[in-house]
Structure 1
Amino acid sequence: MSTFLDLTQLSATSLAQLDQAQHSRQKVAHHLEAMANTLSTAETEGATASGPLSLAPQVETLRSVADNLQQGIFRLVVLGDLKRGKSTLLNSLLGERLLPSDVNPCTAVLTVLKYGPQKQVTIHHLDDSPPEQIALEDFKQIYTIDPEEAKALASKDQAAFPNVSHAEIEYPLPLLQQGLELIDTPGLNDTEARNQLVFNFLQDCHAVLFVMDATQPCTLDERRYLQNTLKDRGITIFFLINAWDKVQSNLINPDDSEALASAEDRLRGVFHTHLADYCPHQYDQRVFEVSGLKALRSQLQNDPEALAQSGVPAFLDSLFKFLSQDRIQSELDYALHKAQMTHKQVWAAVSRRLPLLDEDLDLLKEKLVSVQSDFEQLQSIRDDFQTKIRQTRDQESQAIADSFKTYILNLEITFDEDFVAAQPDLEFLEFLDKNNRAVFYTSFKRAFERYMNDRLAAWEFIAKQDISRAFSELNEAADEYRVAYEQVVEVMNDKLLGNRFYAAGHRYDPKEVQLWADILKDVFEAIPGNMNGAVGQFNMFWQSVMQTALLVIILQVIGLVFSSLFLNIFAVLLVGTGVFVGQAEYVRQEFLKATRTEFAKYLPQIANEQWEPIHQSVQRCFETYEVKVIERINQDIASRQGELNNLVAQKESHSIQVEQESQRLQTLEKSLAEMVQEMEGDCQLKN
């Protein structure tokens, strides 16, 4: 029997909340499916009555949101450098020695842990090879390597298993059965292919668990990864400062309470300085001092007191609270919003249809002709907004591409100062030793990659601010176009419905048209990836667009510079070897001077050649925006035209039973309203 039961007892409340959240997910998904089925049935019935209401887009949206909720998965990506105890910590969370966590071996492939009724490991490959199933024990033996070997491979930019994409472990564990998927990643400085795979998981995760080591607080690689990969991405990060118990064991006198308190305070200050920006206003709920090894031992030894002291239960409580309240609530709110908007759209369509049911066919056709100019006005407003988007696209893509060019050309000026921060551990004298020259070459190349990554990340931050500003301005413009759109819609409604009575005896009230403004607002805010007004969420979209372009730049720079750099530097340094051999400072200065000179030769070429890829990447952002927004406006126009055309077609083909059809449409709207009302109650989580 799994000893994880001890941990669940300590976190019983949080686990109950997580279970309730999963239950709410399924209930809300059921409501959405019911609404979609109701609409689909109504459209089918309408085909033989007064005609469909053109609600296919709403049906598709409801089912898509329901599918996402029904998956019921909380995906957590675990990041951290080598020898940070990630596997040990994960084992302590799982309550099983599922991953290799001895002193030396470390997991060498990205591993997805998920629930399954039976123990099973599936190896996925990067080529066309079919997935391979192996035993768990075989996985532990085959796909783990010594950390020193991992570092050696990393220095050569090689993967231990270059043909393996990732491993998938299914296991019948209580925590995984709660809907959690844990993605265990290799070290931060892995191969480019592996980094891309990690990035793909990051785009679809609920949170990141970033594991650090209390005895090596905030290393340069960790700070760089946080800055370049995670900052401002809209991802919630939990920082687990592992091996906190070693702070005491590393003291000269472990029993000196004052020395321990002083050492812990200094460490907390260091971590707070570097991590506070990633969890503003929630530092205490996102940063935890833990001991994965103590937690795992305490579970294996059935020692709840030691388990509580490990810090792991406190972390789990905070994590489960986030998942079962904050994260889930945002998902449920989004689903409820879509349901409410669907009901409003149906209400509006029914409200437009009811007064026209008993309309004389010839008069209805005349009215249809009378609003054609209004439809043309709606299309004109759409076209004007599209032109505005394209003007902004051209202006911003030009400005940002130009800023990139200027930025690249200026790198020579700050090269010495900036590059030093990227290569603090380089042993420059190794270059003069032909036996160590290959090792130095690889180390220097990786340092140069870090330098370029840092410089491009700095520029990207500025570019994202510019793009965010441009989208904010577009949103303000969208409000103006929406007002004009609403005014035309109100004129159309007056032509079609003015001075009319509903079949059920309710008079058309022009004031109710104002409620339709909510629907039109939704039309104009249909922005991809929730980019509207949300810089953090927008950043992941920007990153996915820009990543390929920036990667090409890095590879091009390295290819150009290193093709001739080492020969030139070697020639310069060889002249002084008789006098200066052993003088590292001279070697360092000459090396940097030669690197800067060689680098500067290619900056104009890089700036010119990469201007177009950057320009196209920025354009892609606005083109995606344009496609989604204009598509939504087109749907609204087509839906309005479809409603009228369908009604005319039905009247031409047969006589409509007005009272019966009126009852059907009102029943449809009422049933949807009741579903939304019931859904509102299920979307309110109990704390």
Structure 2
Amino acid sequence: MRNLEFKDQLHEYSQWREQLVQAIEMYREWRSRYKLSDPHSTDTLLNIISGLQSDRITLAFAAEFSRGKTELINALFFAETGVRLLPSSPGRTTMSPTELFWDEEGGSYIRLLNIESRLEDISLLEYKRNPERWTQIDLDCDSPTQMQEAFKELVATKEVPREIADKLGLWNEREAAEQGIINPEKVEIPCWRHALISFPHHLLKQGLCILDTPGLNALGTEPELTLSMLPSAQAIVFVLAADTGVTKSDMEMWKNHVCGSRGHSKQGLAVVMNKIDSMWDDLSGEQGYEESILKQIDTSASILGLNKEVVFPVSAKQALLAKVKSDDALLQKSRLDKLEEYLSNDILQQRRQILMDTIIKDIGFLVSESSNLINTKLTNASKQLQEFKQMDFENQEMTGKLMAETRDRQHAYMANVENFQASRKVFTVQAKMLIDSFAKERIDEIIKTTKQDMSKSLTTYGMKQNIRKLFDELRDLLQDSVDITNETRRLVKAIHKKFQDEYGFKEIEPQLFSIKQYQFELEQIFEEGEVFRSSAKTTMTEQSIVVNKLYSTLIAKARNILHQAHKDAMTWSNSVLTPLMHQIKDHKKQIESRLQMLRKISDSKESVADNITHLEEELQQLKNQRKELMTIIKAMHFDAYSQQSKEEPLEAVY
């Protein structure tokens, strides 16, 4: 499979995403046109649209030094430039983590964050929000040579006193001793901590983002990479050297930084066994070459605990040369096609499924509510039409009786609406208690106290105890919310059941709030932090700067999780009764419409036919309204989802 095919698949994915945005926008307009919109549902839909428009497919590449990772990136994505765009020649190893993407607003540039920024208590995310803190080099996209020259900054190093390197977390005395370096005055370190590269490559313009992470040293000293950036990537490609297999440092990186970022699933993890060309032996020939590759695949897959299907033998060097020279035979020999096929099919399909799952989770309830409501309207309108067609309006007594029954229903309805308003007030008080349980002030007070205690502790052990204390208190905070959540859920169910029992309203299973997901995510990041902390790179007491950054990263992630819980609780409490209110409003409209029609018929027998015609027109309008919705749902790919709903399928005909 050629890079052209990967481009085509990414282009198809990009078009699918744009069509999805258009369909959701049509649904938002549909709700507005038929007076079903409310501020919260509108915000939800607009947020989904915004998220889709800014969506990126992030592929992360991780490897120890000299595995050919950057050459692989060049071969996969940038061979058409005709040059080795990213520096990957011998002796030139990428020193700083690098993100490649297209920033339409900012244009073409390299932004470089100086290595000394590690001494500040500021996250990479915060730095990214302040471009003025970065050194910027503008790129001339019409000149691959200028870009190639500019990219050399990615491998820039400098020498600093050993004490400075130590403060920056870039000096490890034990490792240096193993390499025969004893008590040096100067230490070579990277010039830059992080690099952001934006230029209008066709793949980057369609939403591809590439994260190039240098060796174990960088991952071991930048917790944000391991705990935030790698987990958010759709796929992580871990690169080994085919001639050495899985080394000790490869294994440490895999266990502590790559695997940990995927939890227990290992989904979206692939291993590239690079430099297979170095395994060629003239004496063994083709058969011996093939056997050596298969044996190394088996061994690597077994050691890493992976399926052999996601271990790809590749020669990035041959692949890049083949693409630059348009040599199909050499490209086939490089075996890059299987990796490209995996990225094209598996990863893009996984991302599509993740997006659909998110959208169904966020707006599936709205779509289900809309379809249920329109079907209920159709059912009631159809019943009323049939009733009026069969009714003897010559009988004044019957007409009067129907009017009296309808008035009684109207009075009973008004009385129960008052009860609903009272129930809603009780719900509002209960919901406020739930929202307040996740209040930012409560969370920030816990975090502030813990960070003060942490700053007084200079050892890894002391910091570990403080972070345990923090997570225990955050767990307690979530646990306090459990009882409030359960009580709120019971109240919502009771309100729904009342109107089902008394009016025969169509049963709508209320969307219930749950805090289980937030509890799970909180426990998960604590486990991730423990794995990272126990890795060889962060166990040394003198590396307190790394441990401090680790816990700062964990705190930021914990705060984000609880902030999301607060936001979700607020959105839920503001919208959970909306479907019921729509049914109540529609029920009122039905009663008033029926009463008005009966009055007209009672006053003038000649109006019976006109009113039946009016009802038929209304029924047709409702059918058109439902047809529009079904078309929109199909465009949103919700048609399959709606068939799984507990409610009646959209295709039901009345």
Q: TM-score, normalised by structure 2?
A: 0.62
Alignment of 1:272-283 (within 5 A): 272-276=301-305, 279=306, 283=307
Residue 155 of structure 1 aligns with which residue?
A: 171
- Pick from 39, 49, 58 the counterpart of residue 66 of structure 1: 49
Going from structure 1 to structure 2, the CA distance change for 1:217 and 1:60 (only over 3 Å counts) comes to same
One-letter identity of the residue aligned with 1:636: V
Residue 179 of structure 2 aligns with which residue?
A: none
CA apart distance, 1:666: 7.6
CA apart distance, 1:255: 2.6
Q: 2:518–2:561: 8 Å Cα contact kept in structure 1?
A: no
Q: 2:236–2:270: 8 Å Cα contact kept in structure 1?
A: yes
SS for the counterpart of 1:367 is helix
Are 1:85 and 2:96 matched, yes or no?
no
SS for the counterpart of 1:320 is helix
Going from structure 1 to structure 2, the CA distance change for 1:40 and 1:540 (only over 3 Å counts) comes to farther
Residue 306 of structure 1 aligns with which residue?
A: 330
CA apart distance, 1:312: 0.9
Residue 33 of structure 1 aligns with which residue?
A: 25
Residues 605-660 of structure 1: CA deviation (Å, up to 9, x unaligned): x9xxx9999999979856754652464134314775698699999x99xx999989
Are 1:488 and 2:500 matched, yes or no?
no
CA apart distance, 1:58: 2.0
Are 1:238 and 2:270 matched, yes or no?
yes
Alignment of 1:221-620 (within 5 A): 221-231=249-259, 233-234=261-262, 236-249=268-281, 254-255=283-284, 263-264=292-293, 266-276=295-305, 279=306, 283-336=307-360, 338-347=362-371, 365-375=414-424, 378=427, 485-495=492-502, 498=503, 509-510=504-505, 512-513=506-507, 516-517=508-509, 520=510, 522-524=511-513, 531=517, 557-558=541-542
Q: 1:340–1:676: 8 Å Cα contact kept in structure 2?
A: no
Residue 147 of structure 2 aligns with which residue?
A: 136
Q: Distance in 2 between matches of 1:15 and 1:559?
A: 43
Q: Distance in 1 between matches of 2:483 and 2:346?
A: 33
CA apart distance, 1:66: 2.4
Q: 1:343–1:673: 8 Å Cα contact kept in structure 2?
A: no
Q: Distance in 2 between matches of 1:212 and 1:614?
A: 29
CA apart distance, 1:380: 8.2
Q: 1:110–1:165: 8 Å Cα contact kept in structure 2?
A: yes
One-letter identity of the residue aligned with 1:141: K
Q: 1:76–1:182: 8 Å Cα contact kept in structure 2?
A: yes
CA apart distance, 1:203: 4.3
CA apart distance, 1:109: 2.9
Going from structure 1 to structure 2, the CA distance change for 1:347 and 1:142 (only over 3 Å counts) comes to closer
One-letter identity of the residue aligned with 2:296: L
Deviates more, 1:324-333 or 1:379-388: 379-388
Going from structure 1 to structure 2, the CA distance change for 1:539 and 1:669 (only over 3 Å counts) comes to farther
CA apart distance, 1:218: 2.3
Residue 675 of structure 1 aligns with which residue?
A: 632
Q: Distance in 2 between matches of 1:613 and 1:181?
A: 22
Going from structure 1 to structure 2, the CA distance change for 1:167 and 1:617 (only over 3 Å counts) comes to closer
Going from structure 1 to structure 2, the CA distance change for 1:262 and 1:222 (only over 3 Å counts) comes to same
CA apart distance, 1:550: 9.8
CA apart distance, 1:343: 2.2
Q: 2:301–2:308: 8 Å Cα contact kept in structure 1?
A: no
Q: Distance in 1 between matches of 2:557 and 2:534?
A: 10
Q: Distance in 2 between matches of 1:172 and 1:560?
A: 40
Alignment of 1:176-255 (within 5 A): 176=204, 179-190=207-218, 194-197=222-225, 199-231=227-259, 233-234=261-262, 236-249=268-281, 254-255=283-284
Residue 575 of structure 2 aligns with which residue?
A: 635
Residues 440-498 of structure 1: CA deviation (Å, up to 9, x unaligned): xxxxx9xx98xx89x98xx99xx99x98xx99xx9999899757743431213444xx2
Residue 23 of structure 1 aligns with which residue?
A: 15
Q: Distance in 1 between matches of 2:252 and 2:102?
A: 33
Residues 178-229 of structure 1: CA deviation (Å, up to 9, x unaligned): 5422222222212777552565433432211111212332233332233223
Percent identity, aligned pairs only, is 15
Residues 22-61 of structure 1: CA deviation (Å, up to 9, x unaligned): 2222211110011112323444xxxxxxxxx563222222
Are 1:106 and 2:93 matched, yes or no?
yes
- Pick from 2, 13, 22 the counterpart of residue 7 of structure 1: 2
Q: 2:60–2:237: 8 Å Cα contact kept in structure 1?
A: yes
One-letter identity of the residue aligned with 1:524: F
One-letter identity of the residue aligned with 1:489: H
Q: 1:121–1:139: 8 Å Cα contact kept in structure 2?
A: no
Going from structure 1 to structure 2, the CA distance change for 1:15 and 1:620 (only over 3 Å counts) comes to closer
Residues 257-299 of structure 1: CA deviation (Å, up to 9, x unaligned): 78656654553343122322xx5xxx24421111111111222
Q: Distance in 1 between matches of 2:73 and 2:619?
A: 60
Q: Distance in 2 between matches of 1:621 and 1:133?
A: 37
One-letter identity of the residue aligned with 1:19: H
One-letter identity of the residue aligned with 1:672: L
Deviates more, 1:78-87 or 1:124-133: 124-133
One-letter identity of the residue aligned with 1:320: S
Q: 2:220–2:538: 8 Å Cα contact kept in structure 1?
A: no
SS for the counterpart of 1:181 is strand
Give unmatched runs, 5+ long, in structure 2: 114-126, 140-145, 173-186, 382-405, 451-457, 598-613, 642-654
CA apart distance, 1:661: 9.5
Q: 1:86–1:211: 8 Å Cα contact kept in structure 2?
A: yes
Going from structure 1 to structure 2, the CA distance change for 1:640 and 1:34 (only over 3 Å counts) comes to same
Q: 1:119–1:169: 8 Å Cα contact kept in structure 2?
A: yes
One-letter identity of the residue aligned with 1:273: S
Going from structure 1 to structure 2, the CA distance change for 1:621 and 1:70 (only over 3 Å counts) comes to closer
Going from structure 1 to structure 2, the CA distance change for 1:110 and 1:230 (only over 3 Å counts) comes to closer
SS for the counterpart of 2:197 is strand
Q: Distance in 2 between matches of 1:115 and 1:618?
A: 30
Instruction: Work out the number of aligned pairs and report it.
Output: 526
One-letter identity of the residue aligned with 1:64: N
One-letter identity of the residue aligned with 1:155: W
Going from structure 1 to structure 2, the CA distance change for 1:491 and 1:619 (only over 3 Å counts) comes to same
Q: 1:545–1:621: 8 Å Cα contact kept in structure 2?
A: no
Going from structure 1 to structure 2, the CA distance change for 1:139 and 1:678 (only over 3 Å counts) comes to closer
Q: 1:55–1:639: 8 Å Cα contact kept in structure 2?
A: no
Q: 2:86–2:148: 8 Å Cα contact kept in structure 1?
A: no
Going from structure 1 to structure 2, the CA distance change for 1:216 and 1:140 (only over 3 Å counts) comes to same
Going from structure 1 to structure 2, the CA distance change for 1:627 and 1:115 (only over 3 Å counts) comes to closer
